[in-house]
Every structure is written in structure tokens, then in C-alpha cells.
Amino acid sequence: MEQLGGRRGAGSGRRPADVPMPSGSAFLEGATVTIAGAALLQRVAGAVTKLGGNVLSSQLDLQGTQSKAGFVSMVASCEIDQPALQPLIYDLEAGMPFLFIDQLAVQAPTTSSGEGKLRILLAVSGQWQGVK
């Protein structure tokens, strides 16, 4: 308990300026919505593969209801190890550009031993500012 108390005391004195902020633009970059969509696909695929996962398929949605509000959405089907799921979600939501996980469906491995990769269906969106 002393350790927890010590941590709490040390953490309470932190100023917001001490917290590291991710670098980069908060918005999806691209001269067109198609390029911004490609950047979104690349960002998600990079996060999955960085953690040892595989992207099985992906689909970009440029015509959905959110696209009118400046958002670009995508859906990806992936395989990833169970311990990498939480770091993946954190990487996507805490990094730059700001991304939002709209849907997450997880299917456990189908082997009898319970070993193998999780299959996940991941719907992600990010905002595109358009041409500046």
C-alpha cells in the first residue's frame, strides 16, 4: 500500500505539461478524401502488423453518413495475438491522427487448445479537414 500511496502522491503533483503528447496532425492528411482514406488504411494496417498481427481484409467507406461530417471510416478484419489487443486499441485511439474505434468484434481462437490468434473486426474512423 505504501508503494501505491507513494505513486499517488508523486502523480498528483504532475502538471499537464509533464504528460507527453503524441506528435503529428490530429486530422487525416490528404489532398482528397481518397488519399485521406488510404492514410487511414495504412495507419490501421501498420498498427496491426507492428504488433505481430495480420490484416485479412479491409474496406474503406467514403460514402457513409459520417463522411458528410468530414469523417472517413473503414472496417478491417484482422488476426492478432490476445496480449496485443489492448496495445492495438491504445495505439489507435491515443496516437495521431485522432482515430475512433466505432466497433470492435472479437472471436476467440477456434482450436481445441485455445491457442492461436484472435480474429477481430475493427471499424475505425478519423476526421479529414479537406483541402486547406
Tell me the C-alpha distance between 57 and 121, whole Å.
10
Q: Is the pLDDT of residue 7 over 80?
A: no
Instruction: Say which CATH architecture domain 26-127 belongs to.
Output: 2-Layer Sandwich (3.30)
Confidence of residue 17 (pLDDT cuts 50, 70, 90): low
- Whether the ω angle into residue 20 lies within 30 degrees of 0, i.e. cis, is no
- The pLDDT, as a whole number, for residue 128 is 87
| Cell output for 79 | 488476426
Amino acid of residue 121 = L
Q: For 23-64, how does the pLDDT look when each residue is reduced to its tens digit (9 = 90+)?
A: 677 889 888 888 999 999 999 999 999 999 999 999 998 776
Q: Is 53 exposed, middle or buried (0-12, 13-18, 19+ CB in 10 A)?
A: buried
Confidence of residue 21 (pLDDT cuts 50, 70, 90): low
Strands 99-107 and 71-80, bridge-based pairing: unpaired
- The pLDDT, as a whole number, for residue 53 is 97
Q: What is the CA radius of gyration of the chain?
A: 18
In the chain, what are the domain boundaries?
26-127
Phi first, then psi, for residue 93 (nearest 5°) are -85, -25
Percent of residues, the chain, with pLDDT higher than 90: 54
Q: For 69-98, how does the pLDDT look when each residue is reduced to its tens digit (9 = 90+)?
A: 788 999 999 999 999 999 999 999 998 898
Amino acid of residue 24 = G
Helices (H) and strands (E) in the chain, counts: 3, 4
Task: Say what the alpha-carbon torsion angle 55, 33, 100, 50 is, to the nearest 10 degrees.
Answer: 30
Q: Is the pLDDT of residue 113 over 90?
A: no
